Amino acid sequence: MGDVGLNAYLMVGAVLFVCGVVCMATKRNGIGVLMGVELVLNGANVNFVAFSRYTSLGLDGQTIALFVIVLAAAEAAVALAIALNFYNNHLTIDVDRGNELQG
Amino acid sequence: MANGSLTHTFSDGIMPETGDILMFLLTVAWLLPLAGFVVEVYWLCFSHRLNKGAAYVAVACIGIGFLCSLTALLYWGNATKWAALSEPEHHAHSASHDAGHAEAGHGEAGHEHEAHAVDADEHSHSPPPAPAKKYFSGTYYELARFSGLRVSLDWYIDSLTLVMFTMVTFIATCIHIFAIGYMHDELTEEYEDHEVHLHNGGHFSRPGRFHRFFAYLSLFSFSMLGIVLSGNIFQVFIFWELVGLSSYLLIGFYIERKSASTAANKAFIMNRVGDFGFLIGMMILWTSFGTFQFGDRTEGDHTQAGLFTMVRGQDGKLDVSEDGKEVYLQDAYGHRAERNGKPLSISYMLLVAAGLGVFAGSIGKSAQFPLQTWLPDAMEGPTPVSALVHSATMVAAGVYLAARFYPVFTPEVLLGIAYIGCITLFIAATIALVVTDIKRVLAYSTISQLGYMMLAIGVAGWGAALFHLVTHAFFKSLMFLCSGSVIAGCHHVQDMSRMGGLRHKMKITAYTMLVGVIAIAGLAIPGTSIGLSGFYSKDAIVASALAYSELNPGHILLFIAPLVTAGITSFYMFRLWFLTFAGTPRDAHVYEHCHENPSVMTTPLLVLAVLAAGCAWGGEGGPLYRLIADSELVPATARVASTGAAKVILPSHQGHESDVHHVHSTAGMLALISAIIGMTLAYLLYVKKTIDPNQIRQQFSGVYDFLVDKWRFDSLYDAMFVAPVHIVSAWCVSFDKGVLDPILHSAASLTVLTSKWDRAFDETFVDGLVNLVGTVTYNVGNSLKVIQTGRLRQYVMWIAVGVIVLFGALFTTIPK
């Protein structure tokens, strides 16, 4: 198994990021949006880990990746709680219905 | 201080000094009316309006005061073995004998005061013999001390003080009792004042003021006695103002009557004019002498000379420098006073000014020309007030002060006093000829008699003046009370032209009044020297005036005026009696309703009538005159020629060889003839009607109008003082209204205008700016709010687009 190089990892990370963003922008389901967020975060994580492997960044990148995972878990817990409350109030989780904060 | 020494003496069992006892008795007599005043002022706090108790308190206070004064007089007489009553040649010796005792007592007890005495024995060989000083003085309380200058409450007692105390308290007691009857209609909750007309045609009514009247009377008695007891001129001034105040309150007793309140103001203001002079005189004395005290004062072993000693020394003579411009002051030991080795002196003109200043106070208080106009108006007060305050005592205080201050007066001042008195006595007597108000006749007569007293002081008839003061007090208070009795009996009719024949209805009043009239007219049995009191005292004055005018032929007027006025006095007093009591009733209504008064009012009349008739018994050899003359500080055993601006010779008036004694019988006869002529004329005019008074009135209508107008003094003062004040006030008003008010008004409108501009600026510019900021912010916010769609996916879009744009910008701008 030969070394595929940094660019390959960056490509995967970019694809993951774009997929996440597209998922966030298109999904009307709140859970879908959360999933898109996970994709975006993991895209970023791939980049961190890749840079730590191929550049002089060292273990720092991997540490930051770990922090991102932990924060993603916390964020997911909060976001799910918001989603549950949103459902309680609107009997749906369609994010387009949550436009009450508009100006 | 002095009280402390008194108790000390008693507790030690040493015989207290004569001076202490006299001081104690007179102080009690003096302070009792003050206590009475305090009780009566707060009468309504513990009693009610209808209670007569206030009057009884007042009578008790002044009555006990009289007993104290009488006791003091008798005690003094016994202590001096009545030396004052013996022949003048002897009493100097015996008085000094007594005073010597007092001196010894002083040494033992260490008192602050003493009977100041010069031992006549020591000087008996050196002519002229030094006169013995016969007064007691001391200090109650020291108010202030400025290094050598002190202001204190002092007492000064000599035979004059004692006589005045006894006279004032006795007359006051009689009048207090009379007033219980006279003021009886004030004992009501609803007193209707018939003199005050309201707009609705009714009369003013108010609660009765019986207790208040007696409170004022007590205050007056206290103040008057204070003047007499005062040991320094400053203290005299304090009580001088207090009697002025009580006089003001009493004149204005019926304050709701316009005439009464105006009269009260007039009396007060006229007196202030005189007091202005008094103040100036006091300032001169204070500056030049450094003391206000009358008598010498011993502190430790040093005796500080009082005013009288400083001016007159021990021999009663002014120590004038050779050029006549300075008067050297004397110390208490008979030498020239010195300070820092230089002899103390006062400019002669300043001494004259001080004398004239103090006399100006007397002019005001005694209603002398030119300040005489207030006294007739003061008759607005209730009649007992007129009797006590405005005839017998307060107005006599001016004479008393002039007499007390006699040692300080230079011959120039005395000449002024004589002429003021001379003018006054004539003017007032002529006005009294035409007045028909019974009280005003008496008021003008009072002014005239006070003029006699002033004249007597001016012509060196010191004893005669005070002699007349005392006799006048008795017969004038008697006559005022009689007039009060008439007024009360006739239900407040005062006009004599509506009376007549009243002697049938008011026997006691009529005949006691007749005693007063005979007394004031100075009638006597021709050929003998037996007459009523006024005969002796007026006789003494006329004799002094004659002696004076014989020595100073240029001043003959000073004799002629009182002589002629004696006739006028007799005329108008008999006219009063005939119009009121004799003849037939002129107003049937008044006569029908008139009645004699209850005994509470007639008893004082009878008592006073006895004294008015007999108080001067013996004339100038009698006890009263001798008592008074005993106090004379400037004895005149020989003529005194003045060297000052006024070249006059003062006659001698002591002893059988004196100038006055020589002319006495002539003067007495002339005065008697004058009085008899006056009486006869009155009889012919008003009883026999041989001459019709109306015809005379028509014939001399000019003179008559002039007299009815009171010599036009009121009009003159109106023109001289009141009118100019009105004109100046009118100017001030027009200046205020024409200049000051427009300035103020334009300033105000300018301020209003500025404020309006300021408001407009605030509302448009400042507010507009603030509003603009607000509006802009609001509009910007409003326009920006459309971005905030609330759509989550859109936001993600924008984030993505933003990130892409950021990266784009990053890559294009950062160089490779």
pLDDT tens figures, A78-90: 999 999 998 998 8
Among B127-131, B138-142, B558-562, name the one with the lowest average pLDDT: B127-131
pLDDT confidence bin for B32, thresholds 50/70/90: very high
**Residue whose C-alpha is closest to residue B597's, from B179, B181, B184, B183:** B181
Interface check A90 vs B, CB under 8 A: no
Domain residue ranges of chain A, discontinuous segments joined by +: 28-94
pLDDT confidence bin for A77, thresholds 50/70/90: very high
**Contact call for residues B376 and B444 (beta carbons, < 8 A):** yes
pLDDT confidence bin for A10, thresholds 50/70/90: very high
| Residue B389 tokens, joined | 């305050």
Residue A99 to residue B793, Cβ atoms within 8 A: no
With CA atoms as reference, the chain B residue closest to A32 would be: B793
Residue B788: which of A27, A98, A102 has the nearest Cβ?
A102
More confident residue, A19 or B51: A19
Residue B797 to residue A25, Cβ atoms within 8 A: yes
**Residue whose C-alpha is closest to residue B131's, from B644, B706, B630:** B630
Whether B545 has a pLDDT exceeding 80, the answer reads: yes
Q: Nearest-CA distance from A102 to chain B in Å?
A: 4
**Residue whose C-alpha is closest to residue B456's, from B470, B440, B442:** B470
**Contact call for residues B286 and B149 (beta carbons, < 8 A):** yes
Whether B114 has a pLDDT exceeding 70, the answer reads: no
**Strand, helix or coil for residue B61:** helix
Interface check A98 vs B, CB under 8 A: yes
Report which listed range, B62-66, B191-195, B368-372, is most confident.
Answer: B62-66
Q: Which residues contact B439 (CB under 8 A, 6 or more apart)?
A: B379, B383, B386, B480, B483, B487, B494
Whether B645 has a pLDDT exceeding 70, the answer reads: no
pLDDT confidence bin for B651, thresholds 50/70/90: confident
Query: Mind listing the pLDDT tens digit for each residue in B243-293?
Result: 999 999 999 998 888 889 999 999 999 999 999 999 999 999 888 888 888
Query: Mind listing the pLDDT tens digit for each residue in B362-404?
Result: 999 999 988 888 999 999 889 999 888 888 888 889 999 999 9
H helices of B131-257, in order, are 159-182, 210-229, 233-251
Chain B hits for A100, Cβ within 8 Å = 790
Chain A hits for B791, Cβ within 8 Å = 95-96, 99, 102
pLDDT confidence bin for B27, thresholds 50/70/90: very high
Query: Mean pLDDT over residues A52-63, rounded?
Result: 87
Interface check A21 vs B, CB under 8 A: yes
pLDDT confidence bin for B215, thresholds 50/70/90: very high
Query: Mean pLDDT over residues B516-531, rounded?
Result: 82
Q: In what order do the strands lie in the sheet with B149-157?
A: B114-115, B136-146, B149-157
Query: Mind listing the pLDDT tens digit for each residue in B427-437?
Result: 999 999 888 88
pLDDT, position B45: 86
Query: Mind listing the pLDDT tens digit for each residue in B481-505?
Result: 999 998 888 888 888 888 888 888 8
pLDDT confidence bin for B652, thresholds 50/70/90: confident
pLDDT, position B115: 40
Residue B791 to residue A103, Cβ atoms within 8 A: no
> How many residues would you count in chain A?
103
Chain B hits for A103, Cβ within 8 Å = 784-789
The DSSP line for B105-150 is HHHHHT-S-EE----HHHHTTSSSPPPPP--EEEEEEEEEEETTEE
Q: Nearest-CA distance from A58 to chain B in Å?
A: 25
**Residue whose C-alpha is closest to residue A23's, from B798, B796, B805:** B796
- φ, ψ at B346 (rounded to 5°): -130, 140
Among B381-395, B515-529, B676-690, name the one with the lowest average pLDDT: B515-529
More confident residue, A97 or A46: A46
Chain A hits for B786, Cβ within 8 Å = 103
pLDDT, position B184: 86
pLDDT confidence bin for B139, thresholds 50/70/90: confident
Chain B hits for A96, Cβ within 8 Å = 791-793
Beta strands (DSSP E) in B644-708 are 649-650
Whether B623 has a pLDDT exceeding 90, the answer reads: no
Residue carrying structure tokens 């006595």: B425
pLDDT confidence bin for A103, thresholds 50/70/90: low
Query: What are the b/e assignments for B211-244, b being 16+ CB within 10 Å?
Result: bbbbbbbbbbbbbbbbbbbbbbbbbbbebbebbb
Q: What is the dihedral of CA B123, B124, B127, B131, to 10 degrees?
A: 70
How far apart CA B608 and CA B178 sit, in angstroms, is 11
Residue A25: which of B788, B789, B796 has the nearest Cβ?
B796
More confident residue, B108 or B368: B368
Among residues of chain B, what percentage have pLDDT more than 90? 35
With CA atoms as reference, the chain B residue closest to A25 would be: B793
pLDDT confidence bin for B554, thresholds 50/70/90: confident
pLDDT, position B739: 93
Among B455-464, B506-515, B525-534, name the one with the lowest average pLDDT: B525-534
Chain A hits for B790, Cβ within 8 Å = 98-102
Query: Mean pLDDT over residues B661-686, rounded?
Result: 87
Whether B771 has a pLDDT exceeding 90, the answer reads: yes
| Residue B552 tokens, joined | 């100073």
How many beta-carbon pairs under 8 angstroms link A with B?
40
Chain A hits for B789, Cβ within 8 Å = 99, 102-103
pLDDT, position A1: 54
Query: Mind listing the pLDDT tens digit for each residue in B279-320?
Result: 999 999 888 888 888 888 877 777 788 888 888 877 777 788
Query: Mean pLDDT over residues A20-47, rounded?
Result: 90
Residue carrying structure tokens 């002019």: B363
pLDDT, position B572: 92
Q: How many CB atoms lie within 10 A of CB B467?
A: 32
In sign, the C-alpha dihedral spanning B392, B397, B399, B403 is positive
**Residue whose C-alpha is closest to residue B414's, from B686, B130, B200, B648:** B648
**Residue whose C-alpha is closest to residue B658's, from B765, B575, B548:** B548
More confident residue, B755 or B102: B755
How far apart CA B398 and CA B400 sit, in angstroms, is 5
Residue type, A7: N
Chain B hits for A93, Cβ within 8 Å = none
Query: Mind listing the pLDDT tens digit for each residue in B706-729?
Result: 888 888 888 888 888 889 999 999
Query: What are the b/e assignments for B24-34, b being 16+ CB within 10 Å?
Result: bbbbbbbebbb
Residue B791: which of A26, A36, A99 has the nearest Cβ?
A99
Q: Provide the mean pLDDT of chain B.
A: 84
| Residue B502 tokens, joined | 């009243």
Residue A102: which of B790, B796, B800 has the nearest Cβ?
B790
Question: Does the complex come out with an ipTM higher than 0.90?
Answer: no
With CA atoms as reference, the chain B residue closest to A37 would be: B796
Residue A21 to residue B800, Cβ atoms within 8 A: yes
Query: Mind listing the pLDDT tens digit for each residue in B724-739?
Result: 999 999 999 999 999 9
pLDDT, position B90: 40
